Structure 1
């Protein structure tokens, strides 16, 4: 008697099963996810089944699905099968989430749901269901999940720290899946050792002849499925020689299954093919399709020989293959003509879903069919409206294959590539663009192709489409009357001007092309192009427009574009303000890719203002979302911003670790802005730690045009730090020519950051007879929204007054500087202010840690939102976590801050705990 196909492969799986059991046993203390990875037939399903039984015995509710290759293009099919038992609780979700998840499953006619809204809805559904009993989600053959379902599950898996929900996802080694490189914990399931392999074989086939037994053990090489299945395929071997050659295991098993199928009656083989090509498990549909394809009406008894051959199982009205390899072996064995017949039969079944009919008809097609291509294009639109971007891409690809008109083929491939970009699938975009390049395209279509190619990594990695060629394409689009496309392509050219160094002449070409476009001069997209291409040369125009827009908010483009423009011209206060508006819009729309960029912009601007309360949580969220949305350059930008923030807080080791991580990413693509900011972060850290010469050596690189870390815009924002490091480190004279050069730059642009830095630098460099007037002039400047810059001037001025033996005059400036630094959380500068005050003869008290010093970035963000009056559900919607996670964070936050209510939390965050001196 053969062993139980679930229990037998557990032989020798003690360590793996113990790990899964431990995770299930600790589910009430918090959730998480485990990717169970191994080759085909290695016993992953058996492990998951046993984990499910252990969970049930422990009172843990199980939700399970097995993904099928046939449903890989059916959007959200896997997710629906998994969470449908808890979908009746959707009415308790916030309206946007409820509408999104119901639209995704075709239960409402709402507009196209954003993937991340569906993901947040799923997270909250599971979190709510887990309040009744902990949940174990098991996804077998997760590599066959449709992309939308997989992305939602990865989103959920990363946010289960405080939920009693555990996800186990089994994926096959060597098969590409969305779980590859997802950063989730993995359990590698390897082959059985010799003893366990022999025990499994003997349990299932105890009477094998010795030669056959030895050959099976050798061929199976510890693979449990092979140990169970190969004896069946070889039981007719009379001389003990196995009829299977030394092939790769998967192919070997497929051939074994195919050999067993070939011996079955013809009617059974046709039913097997119908089952293999079906996109469901419904017995009646398979019988009907087989009847239509073969001309006879088979009965369910025709499945009998396949069941006895252990190829599949029939359970009531459902038919399932015992292993995916069996399905693929059946399809591989059938001829293409027969496969087309069965696909056509499925397409003709009454009552079938419209999109499934189209897919089956397209699989049955043997040549170009423009009408069918149109139907597939319509199916792509329906999939996109349901949030199934990957299914839409696949439909457009197949529509292109069926297109008779080359221009329409190219258009469909271009649309597929644009959608693939939304998925963050660089590989798929590259594959599509390679196909498009050999297609007959119009000039406009070729322009779109170039634009699509440069969208990944902000064009940093695309050396073929330089700024000049993009500018020429934009001018052609403008001449054709397509200003919108021209702006898009010019945006790509401007990005290359920012991330690389094409030279002043090229920047001028981009600017000339941009200003000739017939668009509103206050359009945020136009301002962003000018700022990225020529932030100094066009600084006056940009700053003037941005100030007008800030004073009179309008509909001129997205606030996120205005924020990026403000950042690059050094108007950090405007950038942070525009970001606040844009972030609210992007959160409400669930556009996490753009949200990550905008948060990175907000963090960078707030860091330069010294506003750590805004910058710290923004940078942390930007880094997290950039990874989730596959934006490596934005991730590096967020990390180097975190390095700046760590330097401002005096966290030297953390600052260096973050700088090194960002530097590694930037060096791969020669991203000058990241390299420049790495030097800035290292220089600021050394300056704050009193290592002045080291600070000077890092910062001077930003001002050397021959250095890869030089950037003409970003060095404008480091003038104050460079001059302070030079003066304190004994490098005053070498820095004078650089300051003179920056004075020339300042005459070309009203950049607030540059002018604030130069006012500070002039005072530091001045002779004693001139210094007081220059310090006073720096303090008279409007720095109300630049508290860190003002406090630095007060600190330096107070220190200068003390050294001039004017201790009484110095204390007011030093006290004000210290209070500001304490409030901002810039600890090294706060300590320096205390040292200066002590030297002036004033008695001071120790600094009391502020709230931000005690909380993690995410805790600080949640505390700020809670103090602002938002409920846990509202906070969860903003941050894309469940409301239970928010509650768990607050339970940690309250004792850290010594409070017990939201009202007290508000007081703890607004009370300046650092001003006691």
Structure 2
């Protein structure tokens, strides 16, 4: 066909994708290029070449960009017969998202996982090709869900082909195919196919230059123009962009149609789903006869069948722009009148709002109700859009102000931070009552935190908390906790509103009504920690950690503060409840698809894993952390990757990574990220035996926010580095601070770390007793990394005491443990110490974990623990067939043939747990 002249490379790319599907491999492709360049023609080619496959199609519609999951629903409707085959949480999430049932708002990435599973199920019998045009106009939730699925296609014969003028950030990283204008030879051939008279060479050259080889421009611009106009070269060169000129060409053709045909086209343009029943009912209300479609179809502008489609999206745009405001409102009103209020109230009110010529309280109230329905089904972007339009239609100042605040809050949750800020500013044009002022201040603080203005957020949230004290005590205390966490995150960048100021204000706030909640215990304990010290804060922090770990707290409530409860457990050295909180909350996040929240838990998971000697698990967590950051756009410091860098001990690779992470955290105003980088840098340098450099990093980390856990975890590094550098007084002072930090807890964790550090500054029998206590306590709780370091320090001390035989025993234990864990720097340090005793380190055969990728290792561990393929898929946000694919590779690499045999394979990271 002419539109596919010289499209061999593009067709080859599409052919390759289809061959992948026929071979059972999933694939995705983003086809991008300017309007009219031939993307739609290439999609049609792909559909035609996929005659042996099942094909589903959808297109983004500009008028539905604010309707959450609208585009996804259009694509998935033909596949919903498979809905009941999905796992329960996924089925429910998708049903609520599509309005098929009522329920709590589903997490977007649980919807994405449901889409992935649905597509895989639909491809069970034959390959499935999904074609999505104009994705630049897809609503954001649909785009996120589809890209989520596209990134995880592997062992499913599912293809996703997206076409867009300029794809959004969501599509970055997917395979990309840029479609450009035709080369000169083929562009001339296409022009000759529509211009039947001779064109002078200069005129032809000018037309080709202006259209830049754009096929639709070459086909449409000359249409209806005679030799005189064409000899003029279609007007001044470069006066308009090609899409604008194409649209103007379509507009000329629309304006030449009969009035009743133009009216019908306008109704079709505003009914974005192309439902012929609704379009003809609305046309009937406007007095448009059925014959009106004939002229548009004859001119090739419209196709009427099971769906009403325009020749090109620019036709829709041309039709809409050619109509007057009154004509557009009439079309929207007619559609609103024929839509069943009971079946589709949201689409009806959307058209009513578009039909309103000015403020209309009745429509605004309906929009507010539509927003509440959208919020309930998790369509936060749609809720924000309904609220924003409600603001525009509200005349009464107080009501308008209240709706603007609600719209700003909705836009904030939808991730539209700029829109939220604008709506907040519009709400503050009118005088606000006290509660509204406090809510506005709270939103301003949350906007600052979410926008990465780490130094601004604590002070703004602190101001909001103070304003709320007299208005809503419960919300005030939640806001104090938000402010405390923001101040923790900002660290020294906080300025006004630092931890001390927030803590003092929280202490003077009104007490909670009734029995203290875990949130209240956290507010009290954390503020006491900063103002009065650990001893006074410990009881409240212990109670809070125990309550969050053991009590039956509603899910929505616990996720508001459980991340802070982890800090409380760490501060009182409560490893048992720390792990329990993590286990429960990570399970909730995985089951519900709350990936942004999950990203906050990967760092604490990595800390526990590294101390338990499960370095391979930390590798998996770092890989997952990276994937979550890509999927969610979260800008948090990647804690798992940082911990891995500190403990793995590859100086060439890890030191630059730590330095870069610290610089990025500093630039973002994330002081705790800087402090963490200093702590893990000290660990790395102690492993390398560069004690003076380790001393410098540990000192910085220990002196920052000395009440907090990164500081207290840095003290053992400081003591070891100082004692090995001959700075005994520095080590002694640090030991005094560690005694205070661990003195509040009689746990094996606290006392084992303290005994190991105290032994470094002790002599004779006292030192030996302390080293043995450290080895015993740290081994008792399974902290293999910390126990191995105790063996190392004990062996080094024994060597210095001249007890070479005893030293070799301890150093061999340390060396074997470090080797098994994968701590390269500490392994070499132990080997050097063994050489000084006259012994050589034992050579160990590397275990099988190095053969597995991080994802394969994670899947192997879950399979060994008894999880089924669907359960593993749900936990790791992939499809069951992808799990099956990875397990087949695991079996091959490990030379096993069943899941049961995984128990017999020495997978280091599995056995460590």
Matched, 1:255 2:255: no
Distance 1:460 1:266 in 2: 50
Matches within 5 A, 1:462-861: 462=453, 465-501=456-492, 502=494, 506-515=498-507, 516-519=509-512, 523-526=517-520, 528-529=522-523, 537-540=532-535, 543-548=538-543, 553-555=550-552, 558=558, 559-567=562-570, 571=574, 574-608=577-611, 610-612=613-615, 614-633=617-636, 636-638=637-639, 641-656=640-655, 658-703=657-702, 713-728=709-724, 730=725, 732=727, 735-736=730-731, 739=734, 742-743=737-738, 746=741, 759-766=755-762, 771-772=767-768, 774-776=770-772, 778-779=774-775, 784-785=780-781, 786-818=783-815, 820-821=817-818, 824-830=821-827, 832-833=829-830, 836=833, 840=837, 845-861=842-858
Indicate how the Cα distance of structure 1 residues 780 and 214 shifts in structure 2: closer, same or farther if over 3 A, else same. closer
Aligned to 1:36: 31
* Equivalent of residue 288 in structure 1, options 281, 289, 306: 281
Distance 1:169 1:194 in 2: 27
Helix, strand or coil at the partner of 2:221: helix
Offset at 1:281? 1.6
Aligned to 2:303: 314
* Equivalent of residue 241 in structure 1, options 219, 232, 239: 232
Residues paired across the two proteins, number: 892
Indicate how the Cα distance of structure 1 residues 532 and 397 shifts in structure 2: closer, same or farther if over 3 A, else same. farther
Matches within 5 A, 1:101-140: 101-140=94-133
Indicate how the Cα distance of structure 1 residues 228 and 485 shifts in structure 2: closer, same or farther if over 3 A, else same. farther
Offset at 1:334? 1.0
Aligned to 2:442: 451
Indicate how the Cα distance of structure 1 residues 530 and 624 shifts in structure 2: closer, same or farther if over 3 A, else same. farther
Offset at 1:251? 2.1
Please tell me whether the aligned partners of residues 497 and 533 of structure 1 are also in contact (alpha carbons under 8 angstroms): no
Question: Once the two structures are superposed, what CA deviation does each residue of 1:291-316 show, in whole Å capped at 9, x if it has no partner?
Answer: 433xx3322x3223323333x22233
Distance 1:646 1:358 in 2: 54
Aligned to 1:402: 393
Indicate how the Cα distance of structure 1 residues 664 and 292 shifts in structure 2: closer, same or farther if over 3 A, else same. farther
Indicate how the Cα distance of structure 1 residues 694 and 54 shifts in structure 2: closer, same or farther if over 3 A, else same. farther
Offset at 1:718? 1.8
Offset at 1:275? 1.4
Question: Once the two structures are superposed, what CA deviation does each residue of 1:95-126 show, in whole Å capped at 9, x if it has no partner?
Answer: 22222223333333444433223222211121
Indicate how the Cα distance of structure 1 residues 168 and 317 shifts in structure 2: closer, same or farther if over 3 A, else same. closer
Offset at 1:375? 0.7
Aligned to 2:356: 365
Offset at 1:356? 1.6
Please tell me whether the aligned partners of residues 719 and 758 of structure 1 are also in contact (alpha carbons under 8 angstroms): no
Helix, strand or coil at the partner of 2:132: strand
* Equivalent of residue 312 in structure 2, options 319, 323, 328: 323
Helix, strand or coil at the partner of 2:162: strand
Please tell me whether the aligned partners of residues 522 and 545 of structure 1 are also in contact (alpha carbons under 8 angstroms): no
Question: Once the two structures are superposed, what CA deviation does each residue of 1:156-215 show, in whole Å capped at 9, x if it has no partner?
Answer: 011113322221111113xxx655564323222223333332222123334253365344
Distance 1:463 1:98 in 2: 38
Matches within 5 A, 1:185-264: 185-207=175-197, 209-210=199-200, 213-235=204-226, 237-238=228-229, 240-242=231-233, 244-245=235-236, 246-264=239-257
Compare 749-758 and 481-490 and name the one that shifted more: 749-758
Compare 230-239 and 326-335 and name the one that shifted more: 230-239
Matched, 1:416 2:407: yes
Offset at 1:289? 2.3
Distance 2:20 2:769 in 1: 67
How does the TM-score come out when normalised to structure 1?
Answer: 0.88
Offset at 1:791? 2.6
Please tell me whether the aligned partners of residues 615 and 909 of structure 2 are also in contact (alpha carbons under 8 angstroms): no
Distance 1:555 1:903 in 2: 35
Offset at 1:336? 0.7
Distance 1:912 1:668 in 2: 35
Please tell me whether the aligned partners of residues 679 and 713 of structure 2 are also in contact (alpha carbons under 8 angstroms): no
Aligned to 2:881: 884
Offset at 1:564? 3.5
Offset at 1:909? 5.3
Distance 1:766 1:262 in 2: 94
Distance 2:831 2:668 in 1: 43
Matches within 5 A, 1:70-149: 70-149=63-142
Offset at 1:489? 4.8
Please tell me whether the aligned partners of residues 545 and 568 of structure 2 are also in contact (alpha carbons under 8 angstroms): no
Matches within 5 A, 1:428-439: 428-439=419-430
How does the TM-score come out when normalised to structure 2?
Answer: 0.89
Please tell me whether the aligned partners of residues 494 and 530 of structure 1 are also in contact (alpha carbons under 8 angstroms): no
Please tell me whether the aligned partners of residues 643 and 656 of structure 1 are also in contact (alpha carbons under 8 angstroms): no
